[in-house]
Amino acid sequence: SYDDEIYSATENINQYLLKMIDKLPIKNSLVLIMFYIDGFSLSEISQVLGISLSNVKVLLHRSRIALRDLLLKHNFQKEVL
């Protein structure tokens, strides 16, 4: 069914994104996973990693850029980003 196709496509994209996140340096991948997958707040990430809130914000921003650049390098559609 159409819903099954959408679910399957979403699962494929999620798996692909996780594979790309794994290619990033550990701090970048960790902060992305903690924020987007595990649902940690910025202050929780700050406490767990032992870094300031402003450093978490900078790290998250740089991690998003690194992931975007990696996806573009692997020909992921820019319109999706």
- Report d(CA 48, CA 10) in Å as an integer: 30
CATH of domain 2-80: 1.10.10.10
The helix (run of H) or strand (run of E) holding residue 11 is: helix 2-22
**pTM exceeds 0.85 for this model:** no
Looking at residue 25, its pLDDT comes to: 96
Looking at residue 81, its pLDDT comes to: 52
Q: Which residues of the chain have pLDDT under 70?
A: 77-81
Estimate to the nearest angstrom the gap between the alpha carbon of 43 and the chain centroid.
Answer: 18
Residues 3-21: tens digit of each pLDDT: 877 877 788 888 889 999 9
Looking at residue 80, its pLDDT comes to: 56
